[in-house]
Structure 1
Amino acid sequence: MRIVLTGAEGFLGWHTRLRLHALTEHEVIPVGRGEWPHLAELIAGADAVIHIAGVNRAASDDEVAGGNVELAQSLASAISARGSALRVVYANSVQAGNGTPYGTGKQEAGRILERSTTSSGGHFVDVRLPNIFGEHGRPRYNSFVATFVHATVEGDDVTINDNQVGLLHVQDAAQSLIDGLTHDEDSIAPTSDSHDVQEVWDLLQEFHASYVPTGEIPDLSTKFRIDLFNTYRAALFPGHYPLHLVPHTDPRGSFVETVRSRGGEGQSSFSTTVPGVTRGEHYHLSKIERFAVIRGTGTMELRKMFTDEVLTFEVHGDSPVAIDMPVGWVHNITNTGDEILFTQFWSHELFRPEAPDTFPEPVRAKQEQRP
């Protein structure tokens, strides 16, 4: 399928594009602000639209409500101009129709899109999303979780009005939107997990107290803990890295702890790499993976998917460091020395061949490859 993805530059849009890239063969046409004037042309050649573009917060209530409606009207005009059936998957909200400016705008936007889609003989799928959280969320915009993560990293205080909130990780939200591409019904309502607001803050403080000073991996015995830890780690990257490992040296040699983990699964492995060879060149959707060079000289490179900037870390076994790879970032390691490079790898989960959560992608374009 050829899919137009609106809001591709935003939080949910980036994650949806990432998941489509990893798990499907669909051709994705990302639409951000710069492409919006060409929307009609792009939709004319598409098989489906996933509409995520919206306004969460603005300077006034009218801008929130009106902004979502205006985006829907523009999209509806493009759908009508197409003149043939199209599948439209709408990233709606459980707040639709609750009387708030946001809820009012989302509800009216849905009505506009449903009318334009069905009048052209297409299929409209309304996806009612709860509060979503995850990696690279904007504080004070996408969710209170993003605000809490930012405050934790910066050492700021927050005011907590404790109550239970239904939370859904953004990759699960993205999967619901992808399901809408083939769903027979007119609506999808993914199930969220309820968590206390105070609980979220307390877990972040638990992570921060051990991970920042020592690199210790916290208890990852539940999916929510894994998702929240990945969200927290993304906010630390790249400024907190590399993690400096402490050698304990005596006349016999040195002992270095590369991983300390509080709970959950875990798997360690190591590789040898000959000079000039690169390993990795892949990304993950949820896996926590640590690279630690224990002998030799190398370079670790990372690039956030759908961006161009490459971050580089020089590593050497004589001064051991580790990098915990953020999800959605392509990464590799290259032996830049003259001797065999020894690298230890640790993952928070056992390797499962049927679901490896490893998706090939080069860090650099071919013309940029190291000589």
Structure 2
Amino acid sequence: MLRLAVTGAGGFLGWHVRVLAHALGWPEPTVITRADLTDPATVAAKVAGVDRVLHVAGVNRGEPADVAAGNVQLAAQLAEGLRHAAVPPGSVVFANSVQAGNGTPYGDSKATAAGILADTRLPFDDVLLPNLYGEHGRPFYNSAVATFCRLLAEGGQPEVHADRELSLVHVTDAAARLAGVPAGGSWDPDLPPLRIGVRDLADRLAAMAGTYRTGEIPCLSDRHDVRLFNTYRSHCFPARYPIPLPRRSDARGNLVETVKVHGGPGQTFCSTTRPGVTRGEHFHLAKVERFVVLHGSAEISLRRVGDSEVLRFPVSGDDPVLVDMPTMWVHKLVNTGSGELLTQFWTNELFDPDRPDTWPEPVEEPRTAPVAVGL
């Protein structure tokens, strides 16, 4: 259990660092804002005695001169605060870039920033990160993946004007590497890359989006398939949900197609739930999980990790729909009817008790109704 202090905590990578620390039950990371960085005494107080200071804040957009000056200034401000800490932190970790020292204003400023932090004489880890992708990235800012996913989620099509090979790393893997979390969960601090051309990336995401349009699950044959799919789904939620299910009726009764998977592993299970009882109250970092109520009525509630707003979906077996739980959203299902609730669940992987990717947390303040652990 490590105590972290993080600059850039509100950005794409910083948010994922905080989510991972939260999942592991670590203390909430100390946030060092850009306003804090202007005051060495404030920085010194915040970093004193922590195990790791993660310098994630940076400037990668704007006029070249502003980008260069911004990255150097942020590092210099942090270094000044580190030198004034009454109890030095255990180490400093820099979220650097593989572009460091490449002759561009951005790359050269990142290399200079690394040198400034190394000069503090504290244990220093200079982590060269490639392009990052993942859930909740900003389109037209964080990565081509976020841009393509948002366009597809809104019914558009990505346009590729210049093709080149990308080396993509999922942002949770990068968060694990920076925080010093060993392998053993759904993350990999060795940063396994997806090497893919821009055009092939657009085609791959477009194929996923086309398959998922009616709720069918695309082929999820490797970990990057799963993470690209989760990234796409994060741009679909909540506007695209619930998704209606194909239903066929005849004299014998009704048939509902709940899960159609185009390849890859998976597990299906059902549960009954008594009136007023809650299931869930957890979130996942990578697992794809589907809820379909087949009999009775329920409410599915979700809250993004770190946020307070709760989204609610009333669902009923009289008109079955699917709701796929987005990763990094706490979720639960409550039987709101007077009779027994029958729910079908599907996950993209077999349950592994040693690596369940299930992180307990209530969606909202606990109620007096009984809560079932897990599903």
Structure 2-normalised TM-score?
0.90
Q: CA deviation at 1:171?
A: 1.1
Q: Does 1:64 align with 2:67?
A: yes
**Candidates 104, 114, 117, aligned match of 1:110:** 114
Q: Which residue of 2 aligns with 1:151?
A: 151
Q: Which residue of 1 aligns with 2:186?
A: none
Q: CA deviation at 1:68?
A: 1.4
Q: CA deviation at 1:44?
A: 2.4
**Identity over the aligned pairs, expressed in percent?**
48
Query: In 1, distance between residues paired with 2:196 and 2:95?
Result: 23
Local SS of the residue matching 1:322:
strand
Query: In 2, distance between residues paired with 1:219 and 1:167?
Result: 19
Local SS of the residue matching 1:46:
coil
Local SS of the residue matching 1:355:
coil
Q: CA deviation at 1:72?
A: 1.1
RMSD: 2.2
Q: CA deviation at 1:34?
A: 6.5
Q: 1:91-112 CA deviation, whole Å, 9 max, x = no partner?
A: 1110111112221221111111
Q: CA deviation at 1:334?
A: 0.5
Q: 5+ residue gaps in structure 2?
A: 183-188
Query: In 2, distance between residues paired with 1:223 and 1:338?
Result: 41
Q: Which residue of 1 aligns with 2:102?
A: 98
Q: CA deviation at 1:157?
A: 4.2
Q: What amino acid is aligned across from residue 95 of structure 2 in structure 1?
A: A
Alpha-carbon contact 2:245-2:256 (below 8 Å) kept: yes
Local SS of the residue matching 1:258:
coil
Q: CA deviation at 1:328?
A: 0.6
Cα 1:370–1:99, aligned 2, differ >3 Å: closer, same or farther?
farther
Cα 1:238–1:95, aligned 2, differ >3 Å: closer, same or farther?
same
Q: CA deviation at 1:136?
A: 0.8
Q: Which residue of 2 aligns with 1:255?
A: 255
Local SS of the residue matching 1:30:
strand
Q: Which residue of 1 aligns with 2:171?
A: 170
Q: CA deviation at 1:266?
A: 0.6
Q: Does 1:315 align with 2:315?
A: yes
Q: CA deviation at 1:29?
A: 1.9
Name which of structure 1's ranges 9-18 and 44-53 shifts more when overlaid on structure 2.
Answer: 44-53
Query: In 2, distance between residues paired with 1:277 and 1:327?
Result: 23
Q: Which residue of 2 aligns with 1:5?
A: 6
Cα 1:246–1:33, aligned 2, differ >3 Å: closer, same or farther?
farther
Q: Which residue of 2 aligns with 1:185?
A: none
Alpha-carbon contact 1:267-1:349 (below 8 Å) kept: yes
Q: Which residue of 1 aligns with 2:271?
A: 271
Q: CA deviation at 1:209?
A: 1.1
Cα 1:39–1:307, aligned 2, differ >3 Å: closer, same or farther?
farther
Query: In 2, distance between residues paired with 1:362 and 1:31?
Result: 27
Q: Does 1:355 align with 2:355?
A: yes
Local SS of the residue matching 1:363:
coil
Q: Which structure has the highest helix share of the two?
A: 1
Name which of structure 1's ranges 361-370 and 146-155 shifts more when overlaid on structure 2.
Answer: 361-370
Q: Which residue of 2 aligns with 1:206?
A: 207
Q: CA deviation at 1:179?
A: 2.1
Local SS of the residue matching 1:113:
helix
Q: What amino acid is aligned across from residue 219 of structure 1 in structure 2?
A: C
Alpha-carbon contact 1:272-1:342 (below 8 Å) kept: yes
Q: CA deviation at 1:45?
A: 4.5
Cα 1:221–1:22, aligned 2, differ >3 Å: closer, same or farther?
same
Q: Which residue of 2 aligns with 1:76?
A: 79
Local SS of the residue matching 1:224:
helix
Aligned length: 359
Query: In 2, distance between residues paired with 1:103 and 1:355?
Result: 38
Q: Which residue of 2 aligns with 1:41?
A: 45
Local SS of the residue matching 1:15:
helix
Alpha-carbon contact 1:292-1:345 (below 8 Å) kept: yes
Q: 1:154-211 CA deviation, whole Å, 9 max, x = no partner?
A: 3044233222111111111111112289xxxxxx984523111111101111011121
Q: 1:192-239 CA deviation, whole Å, 9 max, x = no partner?
A: 231111111011110111211x10000001222111111111110110
Q: CA deviation at 1:145?
A: 1.4
Q: 1:334-364 CA deviation, whole Å, 9 max, x = no partner?
A: 0111111111100000001111110101111
Query: In 2, distance between residues paired with 1:32 and 1:237?
Result: 29
Query: In 2, distance between residues paired with 1:21 and 1:166?
Result: 28
Alpha-carbon contact 2:55-2:93 (below 8 Å) kept: yes
Q: What amino acid is aligned across from residue 70 of structure 1 in structure 2?
A: Q
Q: Which residue of 1 aligns with 2:59?
A: 55
Local SS of the residue matching 1:259:
coil
Alpha-carbon contact 2:36-2:43 (below 8 Å) kept: yes
Q: Does 1:22 align with 2:26?
A: no
Q: CA deviation at 1:85?
A: 3.1
Q: 5+ residue gaps in structure 1?
A: 182-187
Cα 1:370–1:308, aligned 2, differ >3 Å: closer, same or farther?
farther
Structure 1-normalised TM-score?
0.91
Q: What amino acid is aligned across from residue 101 of structure 1 in structure 2?
A: P
Q: What amino acid is aligned across from residue 233 of structure 2 in structure 1?
A: R
Query: In 1, distance between residues paired with 2:367 and 2:68?
Result: 46
